[in-house]
């Protein structure tokens, strides 16, 4: 299993907060606009499930994850 590589797109981001709710160690929200702030683009293995859930449940498709297989 390769380590996840995460990318986010603050322009696509709708500020739903799902990522910050599900994986707060990896994603935060901009104080002013509420858009995604990526804290950790190579999250540790124990965050895998939370990061994948955040990507799946992002309503705006603003999270891309490589190395998920």
Partner 1 sequence: MTEAPSRRPAPLPTERATPLDPPTGLAPLREHQPVSPLAHPDGTAGWLVTSNALVREVLADPRFSSRSELIHSPMRTDPPTPAPRGVFIGMDAPEHPRYRKLLTGQFTVRRIRQLTDRIEQIVEQALDATEAAGQPADLIQTFALPVPSLLICELLGVPYESHEDFERWTNVMSSAGSALADAQAAEAALTAFLAGIVADKRARPTDDVLSGVIHEGSLDDEEALGIALMLLVAGHETTSGMLGLGTLALLTHPGQLALLREDPALIDGAVEELLRYVTIAQFDVGVRAALEDVELGGRLIRAGDSVSVSFIAANRDPDVFDDPDTLDITRPPGRHVAFGHGAHACLGQQLARMELRIAFPALLRRFPGLRLAVPLAEIPIRSEMPVYGAYRLPVAW
- Closer to partner 1 by Cβ: residue 59 or 67: 59
CB neighbour list of residue 46: distance below 8 Å, 6 or more residues apart: none
CB of 54 to partner 1, least distance (A): 12
Cα 15 to chain centroid distance, Å, stands at 12
**Contacting positions for partner 1 (CB under 8 A):** 12, 14-17, 20-21, 24, 29-35, 53, 56-57, 59-61
User: What are the distances in angstroms from CA 16 to CA 1, 9, 10, 21?
Assistant: 30, 13, 12, 9
CB of 10 to partner 1, least distance (A): 10
- Closer to partner 1 by Cβ: residue 31 or 46: 31
């Amino acid at each position: 299993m390769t380590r996840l590589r995460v990318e986010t797109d603050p322009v696509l981001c709708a500020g739903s907060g799902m990522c910050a709710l599900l994986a707060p160690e990896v994603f935060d929200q901009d104080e002013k606009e509420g858009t995604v702030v990526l804290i950790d683009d190579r999250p540790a293995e124990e965050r895998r499930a939370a990061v994948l859930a955040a990507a799946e449940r992002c309503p705006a498709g603003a999270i891309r994850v490589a190395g998920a297989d």
